[in-house]
Amino acid sequence: MATTVTRDTLDDTHGEAGRVRFDELIATDSRIEPTDWMPDAYRKTLVRQISQHAHSEIIGMQPEGNWITRAPSLKRKAILMAKVQDEAGHGLYLYSAAQTLGTDREEMFEQLLSGKAKYSSIFNYLTPTWADMGSIGWLVDGAAICNQVPLCRASYGPYGRAMVRICKEESFHQRQGFEILLALMNGTDAQKKMAQESVNRWYAPALMMFGPPDDDSPNSKQSMDWKIKRFSNDELRQRFVDMLVPQAEILGITLPDPDIKWNEERGHYDFGELDWSEFYDVLKGNGQANTVRLARRRAAHENGAWVREAARAYADKQATLAAELLPVAS
């Protein structure tokens, strides 16, 4: 388990030499580690991004968790359970990475449960059909991979290393979503219709996962200078559309944007404007499922209190035992 490093112990011991070393590490594309000096704003940006990311993974378990009891076969149920469990694991790696920056896990939970912290807009959409499990895998995990592969090279060591494992699992998730849609598209007319209708609903929200357009993205420039983000929101969104178009052709699915067109000059697909008012509305709490997602998380947190208490009591007991045994061993 990650240890919590206090900010006081870090900032006071390094002084100007710490700043010079930090700038050097960033300039040479090296890694910043928890015990290195770092500017307060760098630390804050990382805690914000990593904890939001962790919250997204944990809240993101809900839209698919809803379908575990209704999966159409035992095989699909087993796969879905494994995927939802993976998301929980991703949340835990990320909370651990954020803790190395001096923020307590309880504090991050509190920020999520009180509604103060953000989590990804995408998890405020409902999942009324089985095809939505395919769309989440193909589009949501697909967008997550495009966004997160560059984060494996994030300048902060614990974040970049957590992302390596997460990306391996997300890549499997994306394929399982694609395969659900492929099975539906090879099925009956009703199944094909269900798949297309689902993609129609998830396509634009998935593109919005990359965040606002570059001109309206207040954090991007500084995060890119610090090599936390390696590409801008719009660059990654473009990469995602370029990846989706040939995959949609294989599926036989139509992406719901009449403006998608290959642009020879740019070497990319053009695509239409997104409705950013919808994105900001979801961020304000007015999405289809904001209320239900947070209420469910709060209830799960309360219901899990006895597990945390038991784990703490067990850890204390082990620590006492170890302390008692130490003099015997030495």
- Number of residues interacting with ligand FAQ: please give it, by CB under 6 A: 30
Segment 290-319, which members bind ligand FAQ (CB under 6 A)? none
Dihedral sign of CA atoms 126, 130, 135, 137 in order: positive
The three-point CA angle 89-58-154 to 5° equals: 65
Confirm or reject binding of residue 198 to ligand FAQ (CB under 6 A).
no
Task: Choose the binding region for ligand FAQ from 30-38, 142-150, 298-306, 317-325 (rule: CB under 6 A).
Answer: 142-150
What is residue 32's three-state secondary structure?
strand
Give the one residue of 69, 218, 303, 326 binding ligand FAQ; rule: CB under 6 A.
Answer: 218
| x/- letters, 68..107, toward ligand FAQ (CB under 6 A) | -------------------x--------------------
Task: Choose the binding region for ligand FAQ from 73-81, 207-215, 249-257, 304-312 (rule: CB under 6 A).
Answer: 207-215
Give the one residue of 10, 25, 34, 57 binding ligand FAQ; rule: CB under 6 A.
Answer: 57
Confirm or reject binding of residue 220 to ligand FAQ (CB under 6 A).
yes
Q: What is the crossing angle of helices 105-113 and 290-303, to 10°?
A: 140
Give the one residue of 80, 140, 149, 185 binding ligand FAQ; rule: CB under 6 A.
Answer: 140
Confirm or reject binding of residue 56 to ligand FAQ (CB under 6 A).
yes
Contact yes or no for 103/51 (Cβ under 8 A)? yes
Confirm or reject binding of residue 205 to ligand FAQ (CB under 6 A).
no
Nearest of 142, 140, 129 to residue 191 by alpha carbon: 129
Dihedral sign of CA atoms 22, 27, 30, 32 in order: positive
Q: Specify the pairing of strand 268-270 against strand 261-263.
A: antiparallel
Nearest residue to ligand FAQ on Cβ basis = 60
Confirm or reject binding of residue 152 to ligand FAQ (CB under 6 A).
no
Q: What are phi and psi of 154, to 5 degrees?
A: -55, 145
Nearest of 165, 164, 180, 163 to residue 67 by alpha carbon: 180
Give the one residue of 4, 171, 219, 247 binding ligand FAQ; rule: CB under 6 A.
Answer: 219
Confirm or reject binding of residue 136 to ligand FAQ (CB under 6 A).
yes
Segment 229-288, which members bind ligand FAQ (CB under 6 A)? 229, 233, 283
Confirm or reject binding of residue 132 to ligand FAQ (CB under 6 A).
no
Task: Choose the binding region for ligand FAQ from 36-44, 192-200, 217-225, 311-319 (rule: CB under 6 A).
Answer: 217-225
Residues in the chain: 330
Nearest of 21, 173, 192, 10 to residue 100 by alpha carbon: 10
To which residue do tokens 């957590």 refer? Answer: 162
Task: Count Cβ atoms within 10 A of the Cβ of residue 180 and give its class: 0-12 exposed, 13-18 middle, 19 or more buried.
Answer: buried
Q: Which DSSP state fits 267? A: T
Of 64 and 271, nearer to ligand FAQ (C-beta) is 64
Which chain residues interact with ligand FAQ by CB under 6 A? Answer: 48-49, 52-53, 56-57, 60, 87, 118, 120-121, 136, 140-141, 144, 147-148, 208-212, 217-220, 223, 229, 233, 283
